[in-house]
A = this chain, B = another copy of it.
Amino acid sequence: MPSTTMKALRKPRAAAGAAVESVAIPEIGPSEILVRVRAASICGTDLHIYHWDRWSASRLHPPLTIGHEFCGTVEKIGANVTTVKPSDFVSAEMHVACGHCRPCRMGQPHVCQNGSIIGIDSDGCFAEFVRIPESNIWKVDPAIPEHYAAILDPLGNAVHTVLSGPISGQTVAVTGAGPIGLMSIAVARACGATNIFAIEVKAHRRALAKTMGADVVLDPAAGDVVAQVKEATEGAGVDVLLEMSGNPDAIHQGFKMMRPGGRASLLGIPSRPVELNLVADIIFKGATVHGIYGRRMFETWVQMTELLKAGRLNLDPLFKERLPLDKYAEAFALLESGEAGKILFYPNGSK
């Protein structure tokens, strides 16, 4: 008789910390899918939840299984499911859209007004099994390696950011070379960006930025990065700013190094309001600014799949530790140090 319980990394109560617990394997409805998790990846958001910061306290309702980046195989499907079948290799878009609010009706379900996120608003993927509605399942192309399939969620953020405007034949500044910043460098490079500047304070991330395809890496602690980018672009500034840091200084510098008529796509999340020189940096510049949230459903997933299938993205330098679920304290400590790459959990046994 098969087990009806599973191991899951949980936020047991409204406080800092987490715990591996034994919980019931999710029941699925007629339009849902049960996925056996193969590999799951930790996001910076998970660290905020672990520490129970103000945002977490205002949003989450423990007890809850956390985690929202993963891949796995279909274990069971509901009666109405036709998109996948048992043993298919899958990942999922974890933002669940309502389908009938105005953004959804206008083709923008990624900013659904009634949206919820699996792993934040309902039980997530740091567990042996996770339940996914059919609308959100994504069949992973067999050409895509397992560890890449585990990080489609943040890679999708990068692809969404890079492709939110013209990129081919354009000069680009990426402010912030954390995991998504680094992925966006690789994506921009693969899509024909031609002079990629990475602005980052940490030396090992600058080194990684070079590996991922940055043409020039700059340390804002060591010089005037705005002047450096302007000089390297014949005084013009870059065509495109990809803001991946959420740091107010980086945001200011980023806008200043963007040329008049340029495009800024903002993904990094500042922890508080930011004072902007709207006149000089946006209005008189005739700039276009895109706020980036999640991934386009499902254009981003198609574009990302194509780039990965075609072997255009080498993301291997980003991966580091691979741990069992119960090493979560070690995983969060590593992530906090800022020295880790993408950390993978293997809830159903080690790789």
Which residues from chain A sit less than 8 Å from chain B, CB to CB?
30-31, 80, 83, 99-103, 105-108, 110-113, 135, 159, 162-163, 166-171, 190-192, 194-195, 215, 234-236, 239, 251, 259-261, 266-267, 269-270, 273-279, 282-294, 296, 298-299, 301-304, 306-307, 309-310, 312
Most buried by B among A101, A106, A235, A236: A106
Among candidates B83, B106, B291, residue contacting A283 with C-beta atoms closer than 8 Å: B291
Whether the Cβ atoms of B163 and A191 lie closer than 8 Å is no
A-B contact pairs, 26 of them (CB 8 A): A102-B261, A105-B301, A106-B302, A108-B261, A111-B260, A111-B286, A113-B235, A162-B168, A169-B303, A170-B303, A190-B192, A191-B192, A192-B312, A194-B306, A194-B310, A195-B310, A215-B310, A273-B278, A274-B275, A274-B276, A278-B291, A282-B289, A283-B291, A285-B293, A286-B293, A288-B290
CB A304 to nearest CB in B, in angstroms, measures: 7
- List 10 other contacts, CB 8 Å, given A168-B303, A194-B307, A270-B278: A105-B301, A111-B260, A113-B235, A162-B168, A168-B168, A192-B312, A274-B278, A287-B290, A288-B288, A288-B290
Nearest B-chain residue to A305, judged by Cβ: B169
Least CB distance from A139 to B in Å reads 9
Taking a contact as CB atoms closer than 8 A, the residue among B103, B135, B310 that contacts A261 in the complex is B103
- Closest B-chain residue to A267, C-beta based? B283
Assess the A283–B307 pair: CB atoms within 8 A: no
Alpha-carbon distance A351/B285, docked complex (angstroms): 38
Stoichiometry, as copies per complex, reads 4
**Chain B residues with Cβ under 8 A from A108's Cβ?**
260-261, 286
Q: How far is the CB of A310 from chain B (nearest CB, A)?
A: 4
Inter-chain CA distance A310–B303, complex, in Å, is 24
Roughly how many angstroms separate A190 CA and B193 CA in the complex, as a whole number?
Answer: 9
A103 and B293 form a contact (CB under 8 A) = no
Task: Tell me which residues across on chain B come within 8 A of A102, comparing CB atoms.
Answer: 234, 236, 239, 259, 261, 302
In the complex, what's the smallest C-beta–C-beta distance from A118 to chain B, in angstroms? 17
- Does A260 contact B215, Cβ atoms closer than 8 Å? no
Task: Tell me, in angstroms, the Cα distance from A238 to B105 when the chains sit together.
Answer: 14
- Inter-chain contacts of A287 with B (CB < 8 A): 289-291
Q: Please name all residues of chain B whose beta carbon is closer than 8 Å to the beta carbon of A170 when the two chains form the complex.
A: 303, 306
Q: How far, in angstroms, from A307 to B171 measured CA to CA in the complex?
A: 10
Chain B residues within an 8 Å CB radius of A293: 283-286
CA gap between A239 and B136 in the complex, in Å: 23
How many angstroms from the CA of A299 to the CA of B108 in the assembled complex? Answer: 10
Complex-state Cα separation, A78 to B251, whole angstroms: 45
* CB-based contact B103/A259 at 8 Å: yes
C-alpha gap A285/B163 in the complex (Å): 17
Bound together, the chains give a CA A128 to CA B324 distance in angstroms of 61
Asked if A273 and B270 sit within 8 Å, CB to CB, the answer is no
